[in-house]
Amino acid sequence: MPLTQGIHIGPYEIDVQIGVGGMGEVYRATDTNLKRQVAIKVLPAAVADNADRLARFQREAQLLAALSHPNIAIVHGLEKGAAVTALVKGEPLTSLPPGGTDTRCRTNPPNRLPPRASR
């Protein structure tokens, strides 16, 4: 279900599409009640009317909402077939090298402990 700028889903106003893939489309939106930026994920148009996919989408949002971890975006809610989450700023994952070998966030080589401090 492609969305365009200015469309409202509940209190959320769509700003721009920020990602697309086989599992969904993601948009930056504004929460007009709380005046904050959020991310909205919707199913791709090809499966948006599939009851099984909608149920799976809702279960995924419910499971993520039950988790609390700094590496998992906060789920604010579900709104008419759309999952509303915290907007995580940063580089798109497509900017990372293939194979997950990005060293920008590592201080030590993989599978190696840091050197032991002198005693």
What is the widest separation between alpha-carbon atoms in the chain?
Answer: 64
Q: Which two tokens stand for residue 52?
A: 């099984």
Number of domains in the chain: 1
Helices and strands, number each (H, E), in the chain: 1, 6
pTM for the structure as a whole:
0.75
Q: What is the CATH classification number for the domain harbouring 26? A: 3.30.200.20
Q: What is the DSSP string of 12-51?
A: EEEEEEEEEETTEEEEEEEETTTTEEEEEEE--TTTTT-H
Q: Does 118 map to a domain?
A: no
Structural domain span for residue 56: 8-91
Give the residue from 48, 51, 43 showing the smallest Cα distance to 27.
43
Give the residue from 42, 48, 46, 43 showing the smallest Cα distance to 29.
42
Q: Does 69 map to a domain?
A: yes
Rounded mean pLDDT of 25-53? Answer: 93
What are the tens digits of pLDDT across the range 49-91? 889 999 999 999 999 999 999 888 899 999 888 999 999 988 7
Please name the helix (run of DSSP H) or strand (run of DSSP E) that holds residue 17, with its range, or none: strand 12-21
Q: Does 96 map to a domain?
A: no
Mean pLDDT across the chain? 84
